[in-house]
């Protein structure tokens, strides 16, 4: 099979939502349809994710949330579907934001009862900055929730989307009878047995057909006719080009836990979603059908298999063909590397791959060579853009709680920082270490993982810091003078860059005003230096 045929086979997307909207359940049902798993509950019970994420999932079970992105793939209708299931909790947003740089489209999951929630708004805004095509799945239709039209209004107003319903619910909660598939003009009858069989699907080209009354009852049939007429008058017809530009957003309704409405969305997704897209680098735009391989690291995970203490860098392939045991250029380090056991994640198992193509996610065993944002090529100097790094919002001193394990603690902290779960700052005046995170829950995860993966114990002390700002200046002498004058507020990150730690918003503002010669950076794109 040629490169273009391989590219045409692939769809790589991320699933995003506020916590508890049903994202992991939806992922599981997609894997069921793809034949990647045979048992409902396998994702939740960790039978799958133990191969795709690290073994610290115990903390996920305790908290009932996802704290790491999972990578899974399956074949459906002759397409290779790559799913990146992301954490929903805001404290792990940084991992999600970076993961979204590796996808070509996204599915947004919304709880019918809660509607559009805060974290969904943030994640959608990140997708919109890149014009990522997005499909919306309104979940839990078997429960009482908001009116369908109210939800469409929320999607348009809160998420700034242009809604295009491709399915529509018949009833809700106790009255939920099914979904009318506008895209295929079929009525799918709901039965809460978790299976969807052919007799539950009835082709209804014309909604005036009396079979509709027979199947769902006269009241709901008339409601559906009125609502579909309103939808046709108010909302635009589906246009794939508008969707691919990120200007139109198909809406589907269903109940993931009951395996209902999922297949309709998946079938439409396979038809309309984009394949591997071009990627922008600082040098030029890289097209997927270029003959030469290129890709970037968007995630690093330590100790995915605790028995082997391995560390895996997740590589998104952007162009050409990646081949096992072939030398490629690590652009930042300027050295050639080859990989004898690159890994693909086919949901239920990790497997060594001989070759991979644009859109694929490959796991590279890493002994500490990679940082998030690194580029791999066949020799060209490329620096992929858009991989974000955020200024932390929570800070604590980290102290060694077991002096006999100092070496293990230092190693563990550095490896976890390489994953991007948090950032490490060392104060210039005292050499004390400070951990900075986007959310408070990260501190618990770091403490848990240090103990269970590295055999080290840490404790935290509060510190009053409002914001971390990376600093530089056009005049090196001016930067040096500023650092000397503000030594109490200066730290270095793990790469040796100077950072100003401001105790309050007021101090930060006054220092910025007093020192126009210094540049303060609060979020940046990671790039190879």
CATH number reported for the structural domain that contains residue 57 in this entry: 3.40.50.300
CA distance 250 to 237: 10
Q: Is 356 in a helix, a strand, or coil?
A: strand
Taking the alpha carbons at both ends of the chain, their separation in whole angstroms is 38
Match 């950072």 to its residue by tokens: 499
On whether both 320 and 419 belong to a single domain, the answer is no
**Domain assignment present for 219:** no
Q: Please check whether residues 283 and 268 belong to one and the same domain.
A: no
Q: How far apart (Å, rounded) are the C-alpha atoms in residues 36 and 28?
A: 9
Structural domain contains residue 359:
yes
The pTM (predicted TM-score) of the whole model is 0.78
pLDDT digits (tens, 9 = 90+) for 196-233: 444 466 767 777 778 888 888 888 889 888 999 999 99
Q: Do residues 62 and 90 share a domain?
A: yes
With a cut of 70, which residues of the chain have pLDDT below it? 34-70, 86-95, 191-201, 203, 302-310, 346-350, 388-390, 523-529
Report the candidate in 485, 491, 408, 496 with the shortest Cα–Cα distance to residue 452: 408
Query: Which pLDDT score, from 0 to 100, does residue 182 have?
Result: 86
CATH number, domain of 441, equals 3.30.70.3280
Question: Are 135 and 76 contained in the same domain?
Answer: yes
What range defines the domain where residue 448 resides?
391-525
pLDDT score at 316: 94
Residue positions counted in the chain: 529
Residue for token digits 């991320």? 14
Which helix (H) or strand (E) element contains residue 240? helix 240-244
Residue 99 lies in a domain: yes
- Give yes or no: residues 42 and 157 share one domain: yes
Q: For residue 130, what is the DSSP state? A: T
Residues 44 and 92 in one domain: yes
Residue 214 lies inside a defined structural domain of this protein:
no
Tokens of 17: 């939502």
Q: Can you give the pLDDT at residue 320?
A: 95
Sign of CA dihedral 155, 156, 162, 168: positive
Q: Strands, E, within 166-264: which ranges?
A: 167-170, 178-181, 186-189, 201-203, 249-253
- The DSSP output letter for 238 is P
pLDDT of residue 307: 56
CA-nearest of 377, 386, 380 to 317 is: 377
Positive or negative, the CA dihedral 285, 286, 291, 296 is positive
């Amino acid at each position: 099979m040629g490169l273009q045929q391989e590219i045409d086979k692939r769809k790589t997307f991320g699933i995003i939502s506020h916590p508890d909207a049903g994202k992991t359940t939806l992922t599981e049902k997609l894997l069921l349809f793809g034949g990647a798993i045979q048992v409902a509950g396998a994702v939740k019970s960790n039978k799958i994710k133990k191969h795709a994420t690290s073994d610290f999932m115990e903390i996920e079970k305790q908290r009932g949330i996802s704290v790491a992105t999972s990578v899974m793939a399956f074949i459906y209708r002759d397409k290779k579907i790559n799913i990146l299931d992301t954490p929903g909790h805001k404290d792990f947003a940084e991992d999600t934001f970076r993961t979204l740089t590796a996808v070509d489209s996204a599915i947004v999951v919304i709880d019918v009862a809660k509607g559009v929630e805060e974290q969904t708004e943030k994640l959608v805004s990140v997708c919109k900055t890149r014009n990522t095509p997005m499909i919306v799945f309104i979940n839990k239709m078997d429960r009482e929730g908001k009116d369908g039209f109210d939800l469409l209004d929320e999607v348009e107003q809160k998420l700034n989307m242009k809604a295009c319903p491709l399915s529509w619910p018949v009833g809700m909660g106790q009255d939920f009878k099914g979904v009318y598939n506008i895209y295929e003009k079929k009525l799918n009858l709901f039965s809460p047995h978790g299976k969807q069989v052919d007799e539950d699907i009835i082709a209804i080209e014309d909604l005036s057909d009396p079979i509709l009354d027979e199947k769902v009852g006269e009241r709901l049939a008339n409601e559906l006719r009125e609502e579909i007429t309103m939808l046709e008058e108010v909302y635009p017809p589906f246009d794939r080009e508008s969707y691919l530009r990120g200007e139109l957003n198909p809406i589907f309704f269903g109940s993931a836990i009951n395996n209902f409405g999922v297949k309709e969305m998946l079938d439409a997704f396979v038809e309309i979603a984009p394949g591997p897209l071009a990627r922008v680098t600082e040098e030029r735009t890289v097209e997927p059908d270029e003959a030469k391989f290129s890709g970037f690291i968007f995630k690093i995970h330590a100790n995915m298999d605790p028995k082997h203490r391995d560390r895996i860098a997740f590589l998104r392939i952007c162009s050409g063909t990646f081949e096992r045991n072939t030398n490629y250029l690590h652009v930042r380090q300027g050295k050639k590397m080859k990989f004898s056991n690159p890994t693909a994640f086919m949901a239920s198992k990790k497997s060594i791959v001989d070759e991979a193509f644009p859109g694929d996610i490959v796991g590279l065993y890493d002994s500490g060579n990679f940082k998030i944002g690194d580029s791999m090529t066949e020799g060209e100097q490329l620096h992929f853009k858009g991989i974000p790094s955020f200024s932390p919002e929570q800070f604590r001193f980290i102290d060694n709680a077991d002096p006999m394990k100092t070496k293990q603690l230092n190693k563990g902290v550095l490896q976890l920082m390489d994953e991007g779960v948090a950032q490490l700052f060392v104060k210039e005046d005292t050499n004390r270490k400070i951990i900075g995170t986007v959310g408070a829950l990260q501190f618990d995860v770091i403490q848990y993982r240090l103990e269970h993966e590295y055999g080290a114990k840490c404790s935290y002390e509060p510190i009053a810091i409002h914001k971390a700002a990376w600093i530089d200046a056009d005049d090196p002498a001016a930067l040096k003078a500023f650092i000397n004058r503000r030594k109490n507020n200066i730290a270095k990150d793990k790469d040796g860059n100077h950072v100003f730690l401001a105790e309050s918003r007021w101090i930060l503002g006054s220092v910025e005003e007093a020192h126009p010669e210094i540049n303060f950076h609060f979020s940046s794109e990671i790039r190879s230096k």
